[in-house]
Amino acid sequence: MQTQTGALLHQAHMTTIEALQSLEEFLGANRKSPQVDDLVARKLKQLSRTLRSEVESHFSFEENHLFKAFVEQGETGIVTMLTHEHRSILPLAIQVADLAVAAADAGFTDASWGEFKDAGAELIEREIFHIQKEEMGLLAAISALLDPEADAAMADTYRSEVG
Amino acid sequence: MFPGSLMMGAKERLLPPSLPYRFFIAAVVFHMAAWATLLAAGPEAVLGFMGGQGLVLAALHMITLGTLAMSAMGASIQLLPVATRRPLGPLWAIRLMFWLYAPGVAVFVAGLGLAIPGAQHLGGALAVAGLTVFGGLVAANLRQVGDLPGVTRYTWMAVVSLAALAVLGLGLVVDFTKGFLPDHGAVAVTHAVLAGYGFMGMLALGFSTVLIPMFVLGSAVPDKLAKRSALASGIALTVAVVGVASGIGAVAALGAVLGLVAVGLHAHALSGTIKSRMKKRFEPFFRLVWVAVVLLPLGLLVGLALALGAPADPWATLWGFLLIFGWLLTFVTALLQRIMPFLASMHSSSLGGKPALLSRLAPKLPVDIHLACHTAALVLIAAAIIGGWTWPLWLGLVAGLAGSIAFGGFAIEVIRRYRTHMNAAAAANHEG
């Protein structure tokens, strides 16, 4: 059964996956540091916004609201696993987002491109594996663990805190 | 309970890694041994194979029992309790299952290859005892599950097929020395249909309804479509078994046609998942999945031709090859390629620290070599069977062996990298 909260989280995952796939194409297409023109700069800024939204407001909503509801229902294992993954993804995503903004303003040097490429590749893999787990576990579990009223309240919280 | 809950409760239900991995390693070893045994038997023995004891039958069972069923058992003990959110059973029962089954298969195939009745009987009995423990654990798990029709209906059919194929298999072994079966050939074909399409086939179709959505990040397979394709598969299997057991070609042909319909319904059920997937680029293991997906209906078409009167030489050999090596071995190695690093990654954060990246656990070169060699082997051997040519067959067997060795290297490297990661995590904990 599709829940309001699940639909909102799924939509956020779609946006993140799209950004990560675009990042993957960008990294794959440039062996050496690329020129940053207006179009690339806009894409890098968009990537930065999407990543920050995912790891700051989205992770925060999950940890402060959704995971707490899961723990109350006794589902601690998946919460521990996903929280642990948040800890490894968050600094990586912030690093990539910061590098993207810096490159949008001043372009890449060989060193910053190398750093961006390594961090970006690791982020893509960790974040996609993480979303895979959330899509197949977390989202499906919401309908089992939250009744419709609790789901509606949770979705309202998401809209007010994440947007 | 809800569909698509594969990851839910996964952490609590992760078995100690040594449990599934002992099955996977045994499967990889039997995989290499099977190709080496076929090479030792030689192209003439393979081309003329129509059943009977010897190296070719031994190699065939190294694949079916040693690689396919071994992998299915290793994957099922980990995936089924996670998918159904019900425990599978005590760990000692899983260990007992392995220690009955793996040595049993080794003794059994040695008995088949060297024509030693005592080894066949002892090995067969041990292997069936291991399978009985497996069937019992799976049945007990499924009895607690009221939904997830995509997995449970297929798995129930696999369990029933397992019981039937084990009885027939033991009968065939005893018949080598006692000669009590009225039609050894018909029983052998029925055993093959139950093993290939019934036991392994139903497990492959059932697990694909939960694994494919997870790996492509697609929508869950709707219950209605999963039930429909499972029902069609069950009807097709029943009709085919009746047809081959009774020797009535028209009934066996109807079973093959219904099998093709069931495959179409299964493909339709998964097509929504594929279309809705978030990951647009398929992972590398899908290259083998696509090969398997093509060879399943191709094998059914050859089976249909046989049922309608095509000569057994070469079409029966080709049918068996497409079923066992073409569809099932290709599909199983594809899943092993994905599941082994996946499980290793799931375990890799147990000591704290970042989970190991899949790309750093899974070496790329060995799987590329395996893909190239395995597909070359499939093409060369299938062509050689049709044309009756020995040298392409020999080349195909060499390619198959090379591919299996590359796959063995992949498995060893995944485990070595996982251990390196865990040792580093343990050292970091010790220092911290």
Residue B8 pLDDT > 80: no
Amino acid at B78: Q
Q: Which of B342, B273, B412 is nearest to B82 (CA)?
A: B342
Residue A78 vs residue B94, higher pLDDT: B94
* pLDDT for res B271: 94
* pLDDT for res B280: 84
Residue A63 pLDDT > 90: yes
DSSP code of residue B15: P
Q: Phi and psi of B333, rounded to 5°?
A: -70, -35
Token pair, residue B81, equals 């309790």
Size of interface A-B (CB pairs under 8 A): 85
Query: What is the tally of structural domains in chain A?
Result: 1
* pLDDT for res B217: 85
Least trusted range by pLDDT, from B125-134, B348-357, B367-376 = B348-357
Task: State CA B3 to chain mean position distance.
Answer: 24
Q: How far, CA to CA in Å, does A52 sit from each of A67, A97, B347? A: 20, 7, 28
Q: Using the beta-carbon criterion (under 8 Å), do A78 and B10 form an inter-chain contact?
A: yes
Q: Using the beta-carbon criterion (under 8 Å), do A78 and B217 form an inter-chain contact?
A: no
ipTM of the complex: 0.78
Give the CATH number for residue A130.
Answer: 1.20.120.520
Residue with the two structure tokens 């309001």: A4
pLDDT tens per residue across span A136-152: 778 777 877 888 999 99
Q: Using the beta-carbon criterion (under 8 Å), do A131 and B278 form an inter-chain contact?
A: yes
User: B148: helix, coil or strand?
Assistant: coil
Please give the Cα distance from A123 to A17 (Å, whole number). Answer: 11
Percent of chain B with pLDDT over 70: 97
User: B3: helix, coil or strand?
Assistant: coil
Which residues between 259 and 278 in chain B have a beta carbon less than 8 angstroms from any beta carbon of chain A?
Answer: 278
B364 touches chain A (CB under 8 A): no
Residue with the two structure tokens 């999945």: B289
Closest residue, chain A, to B215 (C-alpha)? A132
Residue B52 pLDDT > 90: no
User: B133: helix, coil or strand?
Assistant: helix
Q: For the residues B401-426, what does the mean pLDDT come to?
A: 96
Residue B150 vs residue B204, higher pLDDT: B204
Percent of chain B with pLDDT over 90: 78
Mean pLDDT of chain A: 90
Q: For the residues B117-134, what does the mean pLDDT come to?
A: 97
Please give the Cα distance from A154 to A156 (Å, whole number). Answer: 5
Residue B31 pLDDT > 80: yes
Place A55 in a pLDDT band, splitting at 50, 70 and 90.
confident
Mean pLDDT of chain B: 92
pTM, two decimal places:
0.90
**DSSP class per residue in B308-370:** TT--HHHHHHHHHHIIIIIIIIHHHHHHHHHHHHHHHHHHTTTTSSPPPPHHHHS-HHHHHHH
Q: Using the beta-carbon criterion (under 8 Å), do B349 and A17 form an inter-chain contact?
A: no
Residue B248 pLDDT > 60: yes
Please give the Cα distance from B169 to A127 (Å, whole number). Answer: 47
Q: Which of B32, B18, B16 is nearest to B410 (CA)?
A: B32
* pLDDT for res B349: 81
Cβ neighbours of A27 in B, within 8 Å: none
* pLDDT for res B4: 42
Place B432 in a pLDDT band, splitting at 50, 70 and 90.
low
Terminal Cα-to-Cα distance of chain B (whole angstroms): 41
Please give the Cα distance from B79 to B138 (Å, whole number). Answer: 11
Angle between helices B390-431 and B18-41 (to 10 degrees): 160
CB B109 within 8 A of CB B58: yes
Exposure b/e, B126-138, CB count within 10 A at least 16 = b: bbbbbbbbbbebb
Domain that holds residue A144: 4-161
Residue B328 vs residue A70, higher pLDDT: B328
* pLDDT for res B12: 54
Cβ neighbours of B5 in A, within 8 Å: 136-137, 140-141, 144
Please give the Cα distance from B71 to B101 (Å, whole number). Answer: 12
* pLDDT for res B3: 38
Q: Which of A150, A127, A129 is nearest to A65 (CA)?
A: A150
* pLDDT for res A1: 53
CA atoms within a 13 Å half-sphere pointing along the CA-CB vector of B380:
18
CB B141 within 8 A of CB B86: yes
